[in-house]
Amino acid sequence: MQEFDPHVLEEKPIAPPAEFQKRARVQTLEEYKKIYDRAKDDPEGFWGEQAKMLDWFERPQKVLEWDLPHAKWFSGGKLNVAHNCLDRHLAKNGKKVALYWEAEDGKRLKFTYAELHARVCKFANALLTLGVKAGDCVAVYMPMIPELPIALLACARIGAIHSVVFGGFSAVSLADRIGDAKAKWLITADGGYRRGHVVPLKDTADKAIESCPTIEKVVVVKRTGEKVAWKQGRDLWWHELEEKASAKCPAPAFDAEHPLYILYTSGTTGKPKGVLHTSAGYLLGCMYTMQLVFDLRADSRDDDVYWCTADIGWVTGHSYLVYGPLANAATCVMYEGAPDFPKRDRFWEIIERYKVSILYSSATAVRAFMAWGNDWITKHDLSSLRLLGTVGEPINPAAWKWYFEVIGGNRCPIVDTWWQTETGAIMISPLPGATPTKPGSATLPMPGVISRVVTMKGEAVKPGETGYLVIEKPWPSMLRTIYGDDERFKRDYWTRIPGVYFTGDAAQLDADGYTWVLGRVDDVIKVAGHRLSSMEIESALVSHPSVAEAAVVARPDEIKGEAIVCFVTLRSGIEPTRELRAALGEHVAVTIGTIARPSEVRFADLLPKTRSGKIMRRLLREVAEKGGVSGDTTTLEDLSVIAKLAAAKGTDEE
Ligand code: WTA
């Protein structure tokens, strides 16, 4: 959880920079409040009106059917998500660039809306020839190449549900996710590039499929040209399928609530949950926030060039690199690789090259840039930038200010956007022309979002007191369920504090009603903005033959926000060694993915537990925060003292 400094509450808000404000869609706080109140007083009227920004084949008859916790938005309405992202723009914007893609090795590609549309239609036809039908699930395990958004939009076009698994996940994680969604098709690539190295995605996919009996066909993009194993009859080259396919593919009308995608995310238990998003409400949430939060200009001569640096494997990439910007006919930049390849100024080079005007990145990236020093930045012309955004984790005021001054040249507002995989779209954020900002605060809820900070009993906490962040009313882009586990959907989100959506975050409100998100209250860890579960890492550790028990906690990390610290007790007769420590770290990386590789593995004689036998993570968090054991130490840490102290206090709260 963020180290909370109450002094930040006293800081004077920073007014939206004047030049920006003059041309913004919403230019004053009063105007924001008017829209907010209008939405609050008549949510259905408000969302009904907003929904007109979608291109409907049949208009909805009802805005909302709400049977807590199940929402149906825009019943009776029919639309096609891919049509909304592509076809509808062709007449006016067919020649406009939809996507600038830059490979890590410097290769560049450009797709107009007409070109992207043709590619999507071809691949949609290819999927149809493979027997994919509306409602079927297609798993996607790809690097950041243009075929990734093309695959997503092709699925959406024919009504197939995509389930993207981030390329940094292991074979085991991929197999779990394919198994849960019972996907019959997998789209992957022979490999991807990261810092000049080949990431062997096809090999990993092959390993995963060994335990995925549902998979019938695997479509493989040729990206690296490396030799890969090939299973005749199952594996198919993407380019061969596309060559044979027609560029004409109708976009059928689907119900507003037709499922669009599943995206797995981590929760409290070790089993990832498949967050299900549906069509119209989700797309509306993405489109609407692109307009208000990013103040997107996509219909004039000085259109924005918008760059969201997230990987499409995460929700930010889904909502703000694919669906939100394309539905708004924006010009987007997509970059394949690492920010420090070949050098630490790659991002600034890209911004200069494409004249990026909106940059949406993570707090971790900002902190890393800050640590690399300003020399990498000052040699580039960043004057095209007009708006900056962050997402995924709390941003500390020092990093916020650096971003504002050094990257934004004091002229670009920063939108610190709070939201979640489950919310589908941004929920709390400044409107850049209207909301005075306070470094470290996501500020105020979007019009249409009723957020509160409450006690476990649902009572509002006073300004400056910590409580749970909840959302009171349904919103169009909310998750509809956990795929295959509606009980968990109800339990995790709607019954903790009855009647409201439980976000899992702790927060405070200040005297101006600004929201300060402090971090998770459950066992979710945010490493570099990536969402991981302590329990998932613990089960990976105990699956190692040397481990008896494991407890995983986060400790604050200057760059990554949080770092993973593992406490491990060994089976009898197993000696703690440096080699074993490294092997356990590797074991976690192989089991879950490299993103889950622990920063520290600490050997302990025993783990502090409550009387009922639950590991006291809170105590371990304190131990972890005090700093690590020196790299050489392989002796067992004696945690019996803290365990005894805790037992003496009779704490059994965890
Ligand atoms: C955290 C990412 C503080 C929060 C879009 C949330 C944030 C979790 C912010 C969701 C922010 C996201 N300030 N914390 N601006 N944005 N978070 O599902 O803990 O990967 O619950 O979605 O990230 O992570 P997820």
Pocket probe for ligand 1: among 266, 419, 427, 478, the residue whose CB has the most ligand atoms within 8 Å is 419
pLDDT reported for residue 647 = 60
Degrees, nearest 5: CA angle 26-32-33: 160
Q: Tell me, what's the pLDDT at 519?
A: 94
Ligand 1, atom 6, residue with closest C-alpha? 420
Q: Is the peptide bond before 342 cis (omega within 30 degrees of 0)?
A: yes
Q: Which atom of ligand 1 is nearest to the CA of 524?
A: 19
Which 3 state secondary structure label does DSSP give 289? helix
Q: How far apart are CA 647 and CA 372, in angstroms?
A: 45
Which residues are CB-contacts of 39 (< 8 A; sequence separation ≥ 6)? Answer: 46, 47, 447, 448
Tokens standing for residue 84? 């909304």
- Mutation test residue for ligand 1: of 505, 508, 522, 534, the one with most atoms within 8 Å of CB: 505
Rounded percentage of the chain residues whose pLDDT exceeds 70: 95
| Distinct helix (H) and strand (E) counts, the chain | 22, 30
Ligand 1 atom showing the smallest separation from residue 428 Cα: 15
> For position 530, what pLDDT does the model report?
95
pLDDT in the model for residue 616: 87
pLDDT tens digit sequence for 348-387: 999 999 999 999 999 999 999 999 999 999 999 999 999 9
**Ligand 1 center to 393 CA (angstroms):** 5
| Measured CA distances, 271 to 251, 392, 459, 591 (Å) | 35, 21, 31, 13
- Measure the CA–CA gap between 408 and 383, rounded to whole angstroms: 8
Low-confidence ranges of the chain (pLDDT < 50): 1-3, 6-7, 630-631, 650-654
Structural contact between residues 268 and 524, judged by C-beta atoms closer than 8 angstroms? yes
Q: How far is the CA of 530 from the centre of ligand 1 (A)?
A: 9
Residues having CB closer than 6 A to ligand 1 are 265, 314-316, 391-394, 416-421, 442, 503-505, 517, 519-520, 526, 531
What is the Å distance from ligand 1's center to 419 Cα? 5
Residue 496 has a pLDDT of 95
* Residue whose C-alpha is closest to residue 382's, from 408, 414, 346: 408
3-state secondary structure 395-444: CCHHHHHHHHHHHCCCCCCEEEEECCCCCCCCCECCCCCCCCECCCCCEC
Q: Looking at ligand 1, which atom is closest to the CA of residue 417?
A: 15
Q: Give how far the C-alpha of residue 360 lies from the chain's centroid of Cα atoms, to the nearest Å.
A: 12
* Interval between CA 391 and ligand 1 midpoint (Å): 7
Set out the domains of the chain in order of their start, with CATH numbers.
7-451+490-500 (3.40.50.12780), 522-647 (3.30.300.30)
How far apart CA 436 and CA 443 sit, in angstroms, is 8
Torsion angle (degrees, nearest 10) of CA 521, 524, 526, 531: -140
Å from CA of 564 to ligand 1 middle: 17
**Ligand 1 atom nearest to 519, measured from its CA:** 19
The structure's pTM equals: 0.95
Q: CB–CB of 429/442 below 8 Å? A: yes
Residue having the nearest C-alpha atom to atom 20 of ligand 1:
531
CA 503 to centroid of ligand 1, rounded, Å: 10
List the residue whose alpha carbon is closest to atom 25 of ligand 1.
Answer: 420
**pLDDT at 7 (0 to 100):** 46
C-alpha of residue 401 to centroid of ligand 1, in Å = 20
Ligand 1, residue 531: give the atom nearest the CA.
20
- The protein residue whose alpha carbon is closest to atom 11 in ligand 1 is 418
Q: Ligand 1 center to residue 426 CA distance, Å?
A: 10
The closest residue, in CA terms, to atom 15 on ligand 1 is: 418
Q: What is the pLDDT of residue 268?
A: 82
Question: What three-state secondary structure class fits 245?
Answer: coil
**In ligand 1, which atom is closest to the CA atom of 395?**
13
* Size of the chain in residues: 654
504 CA distance to ligand 1 middle (Å): 10
pLDDT of residue 652: 44
Note the pLDDT of residue 11: 67
